[in-house]
Structure 1
Amino acid sequence: MKVLIVDDEEHVREGVELAIDWEAYGIRSILMAEDGVSAMELVRREDPDLIICDMSMPRMDGPRFLELLREEGWNAKVIVLSGYQEFRYARATLLASGVDYLLKPFKIDDLDRVVAKAVESIKESRHLRTEDIHKNYRLKEADSLFNEQKMAAYLQADPIHEEGVLQLLHDVGLTESPFFTLVYLPINGNHVIERYYLGDESLFLFSVKNVLRDIVQHVGPYYGFSYDSFFVVLLQAELDEAELEFYRKRIADAWEQALRLRTISGVSRQPGTAGQLQTSLKTAKSEILHANIFGPTEKAGEPKPFLSFMDHEMLLLEAIRNRDKVRIRQLVRQFAETLRSKEVVPVKELQHYSVEANLLFMRIHHQLREQAPLEAMPLWLSDLQEWERTLISMFQSIIDNANEDASTIHTISAVKHYIADHLNEDITLSSLAERFHFSPQYLSKRFKEMYNVTVINYLTQSRMEKAAALLRHTELPVQDIARTVGYEDDNYFGKVFRKHYGASPTQFRKERK
């Protein structure tokens, strides 16, 4: 806090300064003036919290000085010192937010008492102002959040709730005229919130909106809001393509400079109406999907084909069965390093790997019979380091939460072993997929990739090989052999066997014995 001592007598000013333990009251700065004119200059420059003022001074006396304080709206608390007990001085004190009126000569204890009273009053006023600020902030944030929730509901309606969007945009200052739609995907948003905002997302978004306001408020009516994983800016202004690109980049640069927030952005280059907002958002998101997560590059040529995260499936599942967190980190980091070596990885490609990871998480979740809700990889991660960190954390969480049955997590090889051990049962692709928590399409694709044969052909081949062995080495009737390898219809078994070996079961037995 700051105190200003105003008196035309130097010894009085120095006496007041020395009489009080200012540090004890949290007052670090002591200012002095010899008349109202110089005092007013200090007030305008330093904005003191407490003023101790004489009433009888040259150039500008006390009453005029206090009157100016009130006219200009200064909130300093005032203690008046005077050698005259006049009503007009006391009245001036009250009008200027005064807290006390001391007659000269005064006792040091009396001055200390009124200073203590003034400091307490200052603290109380500050507390009330802070509460008002917080209350207004919370009210604004509540209104802002409610508007964003309404906007999300309007956008998710099919078709879009155009009337609702129009009313909301009107409420925030836009007209019915078309507007540009700019969409920003935060790259390191979670990191910024945790490190610089102590996890307070609402405070972070408040800062994002403040920076946005400074950039675009002079351009035209605008509305900035959070939607899904994005921050959307609707801007009503007559801009050519170069100007639009300028503001798209300037907003991103301002966020990075002020908040350390990096983003990938997309824009709908043709102004759209409220009824076209869904289409405008889709156009802008499409730009983001094709953006390189490593930033703009001049690298030419066709984009490299996607990798397959699922190629690491068996190794990952083995690490989970063994509860090997170190191995999990190694496998995920190896995959991430392979991605880094590509130099160009569009956002949509990273999304593809997130989807593959989620399919794997889903199967593991079913196999472990977890009761807790399944957590999924966010699809709009655009920072490879954060993607890597999130994926490792999710795999390790599975290990931490899994019970002793983690060793039962199945792989494609388990499907193959199951077929070999259950040839006498009614096995179909659908029943296998249901038992091992795969989709039929995924099971069929992965089985063929690993063993170069389809599931059904492998099942038939295994049945025929077992039937041939039984025909060669046992005297079991053909009908019993058919049942043993899963065929209830003898004639159908005979047809399948003939197609496989070029002879009927009976002929095969005669020729082989």
Structure 2
Amino acid sequence: MKILIVDDEKHVREAIKLLLDWSALGIETILEAADGASAIELIEAERPQIVYTDMMMPNMDGISVLRWIKENAPACKTIVISGHDDFEFVRGTVQYGGMDYLLKPIDAEQLLDVTNKALRSWSEEERERLESQMRSIRINSLRPVYYDKLLTNLIADPATYFAEKASFAQEFPRLTEGAPCRASLLATDTMHGKLRDKFAAHTDLLLFSLTNICNELLNAPDDGFAFRFWSGSQQIALLHWGRPERAEQVLEAINDGLYRTFGTRVEFGIGSARPFPHGAKQSHAEAETALRQRNLRKRSAWVHVFDPQKHSPPADLHFSDYEERVRLAIRSASKEKIAEAVDDWIAEVRKKDVVTMDHLDLWRHEFQVLQSRWIKEFFPVDEADVQLPPEGGTLPLPLNGQGELSLDRLRDEMTASLVRLAELAVKVTQQESHLIYEIARYLQSRLDRDISVQEVAAHFYLSREYVSRRFKQEFGETISDFLLRHRMERAKTLLLNPALKIVQIAHMTGYEDEKYFSKVFKKTFGESPAEYRKKQTGEA
């Protein structure tokens, strides 16, 4: 901590310094000033916690110093040390927040007492200041989240406005019921590669930065507000209410600001002006439609205004039309065949002058449906056991440097995804074959036990149906038939040993009941175990 001693007499300053053990009080720095003007310079530069000041000084007197401290450094505690028992000086000390008024010569105990009092007061107020600051930080950090929730709920259900009317009046006083408003959306899906790469691992930071820039140029909260709209996929939505007729120009200005900051622009969709609050939802839906109808192959504008007369071209091209060719290509595990199948599909897409998000969503859905079908065909185990590449489940939206749809990149990414699926199919098939032989060895090592298919499946963490199906596919017989065949072959071998009783052989081949064992043996070989032994060993 720091203190400042202000007195035009050096010997007084020295006396104050010697009267107390300052280090024991936690004082690390003792500053000195010979007049009020010098004191103010030190207070501005050093920010001491306590100032001891004389009243009668050149350049600036003590009352002026106290007044300045109260106005400019109110956290600082002041103690007056004066040689004048003057009522006006005392009143000025009280008026400007002085802790005490000590007379010279200074009494050490009085000085210690008032110093401790000043230190306690400063510490308590500092704790309160820090707590208040932390509360403000928490409130400020939560405020954007609060705005996001408030406005997201409004767009999703305008009726929530009436339950939150007081909050809207406090936060957005110009946004009143019946006032015209317009909604717009920032398109994050076609964002320029430069911007996405800059924030590659920090999507939240990117959205936070974009929202802040939008709000600065929207003149928030007087004319509008940008917020993160949470509804499945996260969007940046803007609500314009100050001058909604100028919303398009505002969006152009925002784009100019983004260009100055990041060197790139973004696309916006904007709905028509409608009365608040119910019109906000419809205007937002129009902004979404404007973005979904934009041509991803060639950008015509940065701001896409909703046009009720405009309709997307029909989705007459289907990825599912190429299902059989793609499936066979995957089955072949040939990269060349897969590339050829995808090339044929892309060739048809190239004939389309307009590709919208509706088209891409249709193809994405078809891709997912076909993938699910292929998984069931290629991987007979439960789909949850198949670890597909993360990008295998969605059709990506590859862009060129201008943020437009790149059919070359779309072709390459689709081909790579399907090649990975083919490679995984080959790998899983090989693993399955190996696993089935592991199951066969497991069964052969337990011919002396009564073991069920369910126990085998549980041991290998597989479903009963899968084990039964794959075993039959691999060996051409069921697990029961496999066990029966190998048990009977073992029984025939054991029967050659005359020292073993038939009841022992029954137990050694997994049968607790000797009579049942004999019955099964006779049904399999046409003769009983005793008859077989007699024939093989020549026993009488």
TM-score (norm 1): 0.49
Larger Rg, first or second structure (1 or 2): 2
- TM-score normalised by structure 2 residue count: 0.47
